């Protein structure tokens, strides 16, 4: 498994993304609405590694002082290839969001024995919110036609958490 540091949203943004999950599900798209774990929340993964020590939680506290961070959930995008893809919404990479990413990256590196996974490196990171995984290619047009999937969402990132995927434990930061 992996560890990640994730940005969480205010209640309004969280509800907007959950409505999209529900609307996709209502239209036959297996969205994150079907994932019933308490830890399943709309989020932006800021960094990810095979392992991260728990001391990272305290080290990240100063980053929380920079929140809330206004952002925009923009265009839908597809990740992957083959017969199924992952449907996400781009989080428009503003200067402030990129500064936050750089700070999290710098702070987390000493706490990652094996280093950061390549897609989370600065200049490689694509900030996004996942809507649905394993979407069959033939259902992509259906997903994109769901009302709201292509509309910008004014959002506010308000919290950070450290997800320990090995222990399946959430560590709120700050």
H or E, element range at 88: strand 84-91
Q: With 90 as the cut, is the pLDDT of residue 36 above it?
A: no
Q: With 90 as the cut, is the pLDDT of residue 38 above it?
A: no
Q: For 39-54, write each residue's pLDDT tens digit.
A: 899 999 999 999 999 9
Q: Report pLDDT for 1.
A: 75
Q: Report pLDDT for 37.
A: 77
Q: For 52-75, write each residue's pLDDT tens digit.
A: 999 999 999 999 999 999 999 999
Q: Report pLDDT for 39.
A: 81
Taken in order of first residue, the domains within the chain and their CATH numbers are 3-172 (3.90.1140.10)
pTM: 0.95
Inter-CA distances, 39 with 36, 133, 156, 169, Å: 8, 17, 19, 8
- Chain mean position to CA 80: 16
DSSP labels, 28-72: T--BGGG---TT---EEEEEEES---TTHHHHTHHHHTT--EEEE
Is there a contact between 127 and 96 (Cβ–Cβ < 8 Å)? no
Q: For 95-141, write each residue's pLDDT tens digit.
A: 999 999 999 999 999 999 999 999 999 999 999 999 999 999 999 99
Is there a contact between 39 and 170 (Cβ–Cβ < 8 Å)? yes
Query: What is the percent of the chain with per-residue pLDDT over 70, rounded to a whole number?
Result: 100
């Amino acid at each position: 498994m992996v560890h990640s540091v994730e940005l969480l949203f205010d209640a309004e943004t969280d509800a907007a993304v959950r409505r999209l999950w529900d609307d996709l599900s209502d239209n036959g798209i297996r969205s994150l609405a079907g994932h019933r774990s308490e830890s399943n929340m709309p989020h932006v993964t800021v960094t990810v590694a095979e392992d991260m020590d728990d001391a990272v939680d305290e080290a990240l506290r100063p980053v929380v002082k920079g929140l809330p961070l206004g952002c925009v959930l923009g265009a839908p995008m597809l990740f992957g290839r083959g017969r199924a893809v992952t449907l996400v919404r781009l989080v428009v990479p503003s200067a402030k969001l990129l500064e936050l990413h750089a700070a999290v990256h710098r702070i987390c590196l000493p706490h990652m024995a094996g280093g950061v996974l390549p897609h989370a490196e600065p200049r490689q990171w694509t900030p996004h919110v996942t809507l649905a995984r394993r979407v069959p290619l033939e259902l992509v047009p259906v997903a994109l036609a769901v009302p709201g999937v292509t509309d910008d969402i004014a959002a506010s990132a308000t919290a950070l958490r450290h997800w320990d995927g090995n222990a399946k434990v959430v560590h709120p930061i700050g």
